[in-house]
Structure 1
Amino acid sequence: MLRKAVKAKHDTAARYLFRKARALVNALPAHKTKQEREQLAALRQKSRAQGKPPVTSVKKPKPAARSRTKTPAAKSTRQAKPAPARDLGDRFINRASLGYGPPDKA
């Protein structure tokens, strides 16, 4: 699956699968996973050779906090008008069908 992701240039999937593969290899004894480690290293070199960014995630440093204090926003003097009530026309609810008693006769 990792080879397929690298070959198809799915960077996010390849990065995720490289992490999973590294975790699996690190969980097993080193003398038993020598071949797998070599294969992962070769595959990582191949993915870097394709002109992709490095597969390890690089966190950007946070920008320095500003020392200035923020000025409060000016309050609006206009008040919002309430929305006008919509005219629904002559609609009657059949209260009897809802179980509220005898029907209204309008």
Structure 2
Amino acid sequence: MPKKRKGKLKALGEVIEALRIAINAKRRPQVRYLFDRADALVKALPADLTTEQREQLTRLHKKSGTGGKATPQSTKKPKPKPGARSGGKKPTAASSKRPKPQAVPVPVPVPVRELGDRYISRTVLGYTSRDEA
């Protein structure tokens, strides 16, 4: 946010222009962000300087469908209830019972190959000196 009053007014004008573009393009997340930014700029400036901008923001709020709120309503549809089914049949008592889960067979471990006793020469691997061997 700019420090001087003139810079804040200019930034507010730019935010309002960007808001118009975002509303026309129906970019909801960008609209929400720009409304928050515009509100912060309006609060940082004196009220007598921002009367015109406040009016523009209220018109843009109405145009965007937020109704003066900073955050728009979610457009997600509610999840249907699991009990509601399409079709004319109603579930019977027998079909609503769940079958008991069958026991899962325990896997038998694979036997490990027996390799027998092996001699590993530590001198060849370099763990001891050759003189000791």
Q: TM-score range by the shorter chain?
A: 0.3 to 0.5
Normalised by the length of structure 2, the TM-score is: 0.38
Larger Rg: 2
Q: With the length of structure 1 as denominator, give the TM-score of the two structures.
A: 0.48
Higher helix proportion (structure 1 or 2): 2
